Structure formats: C-alpha cells, structure tokens
Amino acid sequence: MLQNKDLLTIAKEFGTPLYVYDTYSIKKQYERLITAFKNVSKLKINYAAKALSNITILKFIKKLGSGLDTVSIQEVKLGLIAGFKAGEIIYTPNGVSFNEIAEVAKMGVQINIDNISILKEFGEKYKSIPVCIRINPHVDAGGNYKISVGHEDSKFGISINQIPILLTIISNTKIKINGIHMHTGSDVLDINDFLNASDILLKHAMYFKDLDFIDFGGGFKVPYKPGDIETNINELGNKLADRFNSFCKSYGKKIDFILEPGKFLVSDAGYFLTSVNVVKQTNSTIFVHLNSGFNHLIRPMYYDSYHHIENISNIGGKKKIYTVVGYICETDTFGKNREIEKISKGDVLVFKNAGAYCFTMASNYNSRPRPSEVLWHNNKSLLIREEEDFDDILNKQLDVELD
C-alpha cells in the first residue's frame, strides 16, 4: 500500500500538482464487493467510468473482471479503447439526444433509457434492440441534495407512477425490456434507504417478462475522515441477496444482479499532491495557498466535501491550525481551520480520497493546465497522463481578425 514517504518520492519525481492512484486499493475494494455480495448467484459489477476515466485505470478495472457503466458516447469510446467489449458496457445517459443513443445502440452497447418519449421513439425505430429502463423509485437517498437523484423531484429515471404508460408503450411498439435499473444517489450511508428502493424496484420488476438483469446502481458511501463511517456493505450484500434470490424464485428465472460502483472502487485509491506557494498570516487566520485550486479539485467547494489533508514534508510534526486555500481568483477553500503538521513554503500537502470525481471534474479555469496522473502499481510509479501545457490552453482557439 502507498505510504506518505512514497508519495513524497513521487512528488519529487513528477512534480506537483499531481494525481496518484494506487491499484492495490482499487483491487481491495473490488474484492470487498465481491465478498459482500457472494450470495447472489449471478453477480456483475460495472464500474462507473465517470468517477475516474483514465484509460489505464479502465484497463486495470477490466482486468479485475468488471464491466463498465457509462453516461456519454465519449465514455463508451474510452471503454472500447481500454479493451471492454461492447457487450460489457452499459450506457445510462440522462437527457442526451436521440441520435447519440441510437449511435451507441448500434455499437452493440446495452442501452438504458430514462425517459418515456425516447423509449417510445426508440421502440418505434429499433424494436429489435432490447433496452433497459431506468426507474425512479422515489426515495430520498444520498449524502446531500446535489447527489441525491432518486427522489420524486429528480430529473433522473422514469417514475414508478408512470409504469402503466410504460407498459402501453411496450405493448404498442413490441420493444423488449431486458433490464431494469435504479441509481438513487451518491454517498448513500443508510442501507435501509438502499433496501427500500430495491424493494420498490423488485416489486415493479414483476411487470416486465423478459428481464435478463436488474441493475441496482452504485452510490455506496466511503469514509472521508479518519474514523468516519461508511456503508455497511456486508450487511447490505446479505440482505439484498436474500431479497434478490427470492425475487428470482418467484420470477421463475435466475437473472443477473448488477452493481455500478464508482466512488466505492476508486475514491480511496486517489491522492492529490500539491505544494505550498505562500503561508500567509492575517489578523485571524493562517492561510496556506497551494499551487492548485478548484480548477483541479472542485469537490470541497461544489459539494462541501471533506478531503483529509496532511503535510507529507513534515510527517509526525507538531500540528497547527490552518485554512488551506488555492491560487484561483475566487474563493476556493479546500479546508477551513484544519489541524495539520506545521507547514512551510514549498512543503507538499496531500489530499486523501482524491480518486473519484476529482480529476474527471477538473477544468482549465484561470487558463491553468490540468495536472498529470500517476499510477502506483506493483510498487512502481507509472505516468498515465501528461500534464497539460500552454499549447493545450490555446488549442482549438481561433485567432480571428477583427475589423
């Protein structure tokens, strides 16, 4: 496992800012899921690519035996490049154009449709291609409002109350529904939320006679602070397996049980390394400015997420209280009043849990390049993405003559 002293060596070798991912952690999390859901007879795991979509990471996760959950045609293409077969990919877009859905369907990828008008159009044009439908079970789950997506007012999925309309469209178009799906949110801690939503999904699954799979989505919470709580994955696995197996009995067929974890597989595997530009004492606060900002890591500002911060240039040093901020010309607080080992200019600070929704949400705001990514694999560090440079900032811009 990756230690702070290894991270410091990697920071010296590749420079900062830098994302580092530990394959050991991804494998460990994958195996935890397999163990937790061992009582399910036909378990499939589809990694949610949007959490971290570097093709070398996708290749590693494919080698573990996973399939892929995608939300855009670009993610589908990345998956194919990484070696996933079209049949191992599910595509769960939200509100994308009909043309994109049709294009992905023609590639042989499993389509998951989340609104009635597209289902109708798809059924009329391509009734020979079976599709999955995303159901909105109307439950409040997830760590905060922005990432709770299975409630009544959410834009995601087809409402369970609209099942009668669904059934009419299915019988009119003769389209085959081979799977049903839900994804209720991210950071779902209470397994009862998950189980309640699953019960609703299973109850409504009985309406569909040609199911090959049921997809329960992702959203398991991971610990963000030392001593933090996480989804009790073993208890969830046992209870959900019981429910699913008895569903299969009454359904009369053993179908696939699919999970789509993103954060659970890659959050803990990621480290974001930054260096201290300035330590600034004001009247009330000691600010630490890093050589990064929400252009590289936006979760603390966008979701108020907590990322644990340590000073790996002063491991075991005496702690002081700091407010850690970025270099962006906008308020970009990474952490307020944090207890961190004494910080000096040039020190390397690490953000933990920087695997999921960190690099993939990075931007070029303030015309800054996005950082490199490094994979820590079998005790070796491998560069898996080069840092952008000024050419990348200028790329695609047109210098138009104005009169």
> Rule CB under 6 A: which residues touch ligand PLP?
48, 50-51, 69, 71, 92, 183, 186, 217-220, 260-264, 356
Query: How many CB atoms are located within 10 Å of the residue 397 CB?
Result: 7
Which among 115, 72, 74, 107 has a CA at the least distance from the CA of 88? 107
Closest CB 336 distance from ligand PLP, rounded Å? 25
Closest CB 127 distance from ligand PLP, rounded Å? 24
Query: How many CB atoms are located within 10 Å of the residue 244 CB?
Result: 25
Of residues 264 and 294, the one with the C-beta less far from ligand PLP:
264
- Residue number of the CB closest to ligand PLP reads 262
Residues 135, 215: Cα–Cα separation, whole Å: 10
Residues 165, 171: Cα–Cα separation, whole Å: 10
Q: E strands of 250-379, at which residues?
A: 256-259, 270-281, 286-290, 309-311, 319-325, 333-341, 348-351, 372-377
Q: Which of 132, 248, 329, 358 is catalytic?
A: 329
Of residues 189 and 383, the one with the C-beta less far from ligand PLP:
189
How many residues can be counted in the chain?
403
Of residues 45 and 82, the one with the C-beta less far from ligand PLP:
45
How far, in whole angstroms, is CA 212 from its chain's centroid? 25
Closest CB 188 distance from ligand PLP, rounded Å? 8
Q: Are 295 and 389 in contact (CB under 8 A)?
A: no
Of residues 260 and 347, the one with the C-beta less far from ligand PLP:
260
Of residues 71 and 195, the one with the C-beta less far from ligand PLP:
71
Closest CB 185 distance from ligand PLP, rounded Å? 7
Closest CB 357 distance from ligand PLP, rounded Å? 7
- DSSP conformation letters of 182-200: ---BSSB--HHHHHHHHHH
Closest CB 394 distance from ligand PLP, rounded Å? 32
Q: Does residue 329 carry a catalytic annotation?
A: yes
Of residues 50 and 385, the one with the C-beta less far from ligand PLP:
50
Residues 112, 29: Cα–Cα separation, whole Å: 26
Which among 151, 234, 233, 222 has a CA at the least distance from the CA of 187? 222
Residues 383, 403: Cα–Cα separation, whole Å: 46
- Up-side HSE of residue 106: CA atoms within 13 Å toward CB? 7
Q: Are 180 and 215 in contact (CB under 8 A)?
A: yes
Which residues are part of the catalytic machinery? 329
